[in-house]
Structures are given as structure tokens and as C-alpha cells.
Chains A and B, each alone.
Chain A
């Protein structure tokens, strides 16, 4: 079993729908990261959070440390949001080393 699990693995939705991607982890962490990977490979860091909630444009990320769970919300989704969303955690020791989930492939149809 992976230390970081994401669900769903694939998600297809219509433009305008509210999207939620979930991430659960089983190790102690210093921070959780949400990353976005577009076709072609480049990865962009969206969020780094260790508690509560953060907002970046329309995107919202939340984390519950006690439940070892984080969610990424995309309100009013748009086809340009289509990408692979990756959850990763930094462990308490060796904080530079990220452990990654397998990613969620999101497709938003017009």
C-alpha cells in the first residue's frame, strides 16, 4: 500500500461542475503539497499547506492533520483545468524528500 493514496484516479466532468480530489496519507508529515501536471509533463506547485485551508485563484485546498486527509476543490471547473493533479507529502524528518500519490487525471469537457 502506498503511503499517499489519491482518489479518484480518473475523473471526467462537464464544464462548471464542482470538482473534489482527495488525498490520504499514512505517515507523519511536515507539509502536504498539491501539484498540477499538464500534458507534456511540466509540473507546477499549486499549494503547500500544513494546516487549515488555502486558496489559489479558484482552487481551494484543505487539510485535516488528525484525519491525515487533504482535499483539492475546483469550483466552476473549466476545460483548462484538465490536468493530472498530484498530492505529495514532506515527512517530518528529511523534509526535502517528497512522497507522491499516483495522481488524479481530471478531464473537463466543454
Chain B
């Protein structure tokens, strides 16, 4: 148990559906991340939020829309996805903001296994 929870753990959706992934961290951290892990590819950073502000968008298609209402919650809204978007989506959090100049350990959630039909 890392202190980062994700729901749902598994999701199957059609290409016309709209769904949301949820992440919650109970660690009092200031930064939260979305990652994508596709089969046989390295983990890819999608978004970074620092204290609710998006600071990194790694050229992610607009069919993925993140939302960070507060520093403990992070959502990933999904709309008109493609089958190639099927992957494990991981959320993570870390203590520090980039202005601290420090690199901090990231704590990962268990992931949401997404299948797009």
C-alpha cells in the first residue's frame, strides 16, 4: 500500500464512451502525475500537476483531459478513445514542487487497466 489509490482498477469502454479515471493520494504531496504503460513500451509521462497547476503536458492527444481539483485528487477524463489507447494508466505523487530544486521519490498507485473496444 503506497498511499496512492486509483479507481477503477479495470475499465472496458467503447470508442464513443466517456469515462473518467480517478486518483487520490493520502500522503500530503504537492505534485501528481499521470503515466501510460503500453504493452512492450516504456512508461510514458502524460501530465504533471504541481499544487493543482498543470506544469507538463507530454504532447498528449486532446481525447485525454486531466483535472486536478485539489492537491489530493487527480482525474483523467477519457473521450472518443482509440483501441491503441488500451494500456495501464498509472497515477503517482511526490512531495516536492519543481521550485524546490530537489528530485523526489514518486509513489505510484496500482493503475487502471483500460481496454478500448
Say whether A associates with B: yes
Task: Evaluate contact between B42 and A42: CB separation under 8 angstroms.
Answer: no
With A41-B88, A86-B43 known as contacts, the answer to whether A98 contacts B106 (CB < 8 A) is: yes
Contact A100 B42 (CB under 8 A): yes
- The A18-41 residues at the B interface (CB cut-off 8 A) are 30-31, 33, 35, 40-41
Interface size of B by Cβ–Cβ distance < 8 Å? 32
**B31 engages A96 (CB within 8 Å):** yes
Q: Are B113 and A41 in contact (CB under 8 A)?
A: yes
A42 to B87, CA, bound (A): 14
Binding site for A on B (CB under 8 A): 2, 31, 33, 37, 40-45, 48, 50, 55-56, 58, 88, 90, 92, 94, 98, 101-111, 113
Contact surface of A with B, Cβ cutoff 8 Å: 2, 4, 30-31, 33, 35, 40-45, 48, 50, 86, 88, 90, 94-98, 100-103
